[in-house]
Amino acid sequence: MKFKGLLLKFLIWRVKHVSTTNFVIITSGVIGIIAGLAAVTLKESVHVLQNFLTRDFQQEFGNYLYLSYPLIGIVLTLLLSKYILKEKLGHGITDILYSISKKSSIVKRTKTFSRMLTSTLTVGFGGSVGLEAPIVVTGSAIGSNIGRLVHLNYKQRTLLIGCGSAGAISAIFNSPIAGVIFSIEVILAEVTISSFIPLLIASVCGALVSLTLLGDDVLFSFNLTDEFIAADTPFYIFLGIFTGLVALYFTKVVGKVEGLIKNVKGDLNRAILGGVSLGFLIFLLPPLYGEGYDTITKLLEGNAQNILNNSLFFDEIESFYIIVLFAAGIILVKPIATALTIGSGGSGGIFAPSLFLGGVTGFLFAYLINKIGITDPISLSNFTLVGMSGVMSAVLHAPLTAIFLIAEITSGYTLFVPLMIVSAISYSTISYFEKYSMYTKPLVEKGDLIYHDKDRQVLSLIDLKKVIETDLLVIDPDATLGELVDLVRFSKRNIFPVVNKERELMGIVTLDDIREIMFDEESRKNIIVNTLMHSPPTFVTGKENMRSVMMKFEKTGAWNLPVLEDGKYEGFVSKSRIFNAYRKKLIRQQIE
């Protein structure tokens, strides 16, 4: 009570002395700092756990621990999320987009810390996913809940969600520009010029926290050693196509494998199957363990043999063909490992796997070109970095984020031209096959996410079940016209559903259908309702989204349509009721 009283006094003071615009800017800085602290905490927690589990590995038996670590991590994550946090995990950024689109930018308070705890266990024990999505969820939840605490409306809460994600990405990579662009490309559907200032403030604050506490020890960084050579441009063009196809493979395989493992009945059975399978894959290909940034760093150092380190079978072999097959195996298996981690109950995201996959792809591409010898040797490190940008651009459908992220983590813009070439071509390649990213596709298919269409976005917020009208008087198909006329006297509607004893809709009768005969005494005695009824132009179900319903109204030209659930009559839905709900939602969005 004391806290609520102090908060109320503060809010009253704020309204009197600080404009909403300035207050949002100040709040964005606070959110950036908190998100930055969360990012640093998560990174350090995971790395401490990983170092504890993998230090002093003995080559002879160390690999066998890989068989058990992922299983332990996924099972612990499942138990924590299901029985203590009581949250359902999955693709966290998709959940944030759903909260913005369908829940008025209200994110559960527990998400301010839940994804940090679960991802620490999953990734710390070797889950083949990244920390970026969990920390974005954490930052977004911080933004949403602070916005609710200080009574900001829907638009302002949404902006603060973007600020939280910008601060988190900025802190974890020390990349303030990429943090802002990520929020604009991935999180926020609509951005105005006035939105940039809070996003910039939050992102800068997140980066400052990271620099203060970690210095240069960020999640991933590399200092460029080779210059961009314009003569390599044709190879970058081919790399763009190649990374686009690899990203398409990643997207398809992750979706397919996740679907298969989710068909396994029982959460614990699913976790055990996924953990054991993942452990086996890591046993064969150790670079799949965790986020994989250590492997990328080794590739950037130019010694291809390093990717075989810790491999029980290939560590002592120095062969071009073994390195090529090993790298190709990583590319083929990484999507499976990522899907097993997430689908079986682990916590993490596809951000880091896309960077990892892109790095290996770029390295393998350049390594093969150099071995073939059709030109002067090309830079392994440059193509590795640009490959990271290409796959990430395509998987996340965020080319600008990919370009600026790699530019910032390499501390310069030397590779800006090839980054632009590869990211653009890669994004265009996957867009030919997949219009939406892995984050947005499931929401768009369900009608839960609509970009750049305010009317459809507001309509998507309307719950069909709440606008179903049940006050229409029903009539039995075997009833007489006289019985129907008796209903007309009490009804305020001009539509009469014809429903049998099993609550099945047989047809409808309108007042216009009986107007000319309803006062004829002979007709009222002899005419049966089932001879008057006619079929409605179509029907809707209670599970349909509003986009589908409005399309049916548009195609039929009707103003009223019946609602059926499992074949049973539930009521009617009308255009006028939907439009009324639309107006209320629009007004509420403006004042919330």
**DSSP result, 491-529:** -SSSEEEEE-TT--EEEEEEHHHHTTTTT-HHHHHH-BG
pTM above 0.85, yes or no: no
* Positive or negative torsion for Cα 465, 470, 472, 478: positive
DSSP state of 186: I
Are 346 and 90 in contact by the 8 Å Cβ rule? The answer is no
DSSP 53-70: HHTT--TTTHHHHTTTHH
546-556 helix and 575-591 helix, angle to the nearest 10 degrees: 140
Q: At residue 591, does pLDDT exceed 50? A: no
pLDDT digits (tens, 9 = 90+) for 482-540: 888 888 877 778 888 888 888 888 888 888 888 878 777 778 788 888 888 888 888 88
Are 415 and 407 in contact by the 8 Å Cβ rule? The answer is yes
Partners of 540 in beta bridges = 563
Task: With cut-offs at 50, 70 and 90, classify the pLDDT of residue 56.
Answer: low
| Mode of pairing for the β-strands spanning 560-565 and 568-574 | antiparallel
Are 280 and 69 in contact by the 8 Å Cβ rule? The answer is no
Q: At residue 355, does pLDDT exceed 70? A: yes
What span, in angstroms and rounded, lies between the C-alpha atoms of 270 and 192? Answer: 44
**Lowest mean pLDDT, pick from 97-106, 190-199, 318-327, 578-587:** 578-587
Q: At residue 129, does pLDDT exceed 80? A: yes
Q: Quote the pLDDT of residue 448.
A: 65
**Lowest mean pLDDT, pick from 170-184, 415-429, 515-529:** 515-529
Phi, psi of 354 (to 5 degrees): -70, -40
What are the tokens at 181? 């662009």
Are 488 and 509 in contact by the 8 Å Cβ rule? The answer is no
What are the tokens at 377? 């040797």
Above pLDDT 90, what percent of the chain? 32
Q: Quote the pLDDT of residue 452.
A: 47
Partners of 577 in beta bridges = none
Which residues have C-beta within 8 Å of that of residue 191, sequence separation ≥ 6?
A: 162, 184
* Positive or negative torsion for Cα 28, 34, 36, 42: negative
Q: What are the helix (H) ranges across 301-396? A: 320-343, 351-372, 380-396
What span, in angstroms and rounded, lies between the C-alpha atoms of 120 and 257? Answer: 23
What span, in angstroms and rounded, lies between the C-alpha atoms of 238 and 217? Answer: 33
pLDDT digits (tens, 9 = 90+) for 255-314: 899 989 888 888 899 999 989 999 889 888 888 888 888 888 888 877 777 677 666 666
- Show the CA angle centred on residue 326, arms to residues 321 and 329, nearest 5°: 125
What span, in angstroms and rounded, lies between the C-alpha atoms of 153 and 592? Answer: 4
pLDDT digits (tens, 9 = 90+) for 13-27: 777 788 888 889 999
Average pLDDT, the chain: 84
Three-class SS string for 195-208? HHHHHHHHHHHHHH
What span, in angstroms and rounded, lies between the C-alpha atoms of 257 and 319? Answer: 32
Q: At residue 201, does pLDDT exceed 50? A: yes
Measure CA 378 to chain center: 36
DSSP SS3 for 293: helix
Are 307 and 295 in contact by the 8 Å Cβ rule? The answer is yes
What span, in angstroms and rounded, lies between the C-alpha atoms of 176 and 179? Answer: 5
Partners of 469 in beta bridges = 572
Three-class SS string for 149-167? HCCCCHHHHHHHHHHHHHH
Partners of 560 in beta bridges = 574
Are 401 and 186 in contact by the 8 Å Cβ rule? The answer is yes
Comparing CA positions, the residue from 406, 443, 259, 456 lying closest to residue 344 is: 259
What span, in angstroms and rounded, lies between the C-alpha atoms of 548 and 564? Answer: 15
Comparing CA positions, the residue from 138, 137, 299 lying closest to residue 220 is: 299
Q: At residue 383, does pLDDT exceed 70? A: yes
DSSP SS3 for 104: coil
* Positive or negative torsion for Cα 303, 299, 208, 400: positive
What span, in angstroms and rounded, lies between the C-alpha atoms of 532 and 148? Answer: 56
| Mode of pairing for the β-strands spanning 560-565 and 540-541 | parallel
Q: Quote the pLDDT of residue 517.
A: 84
Q: What share of the chain is helix, strand, coil (3-state, %, to 5)?
A: 65, 5, 30
- CA-derived radius of gyration, the chain: 29
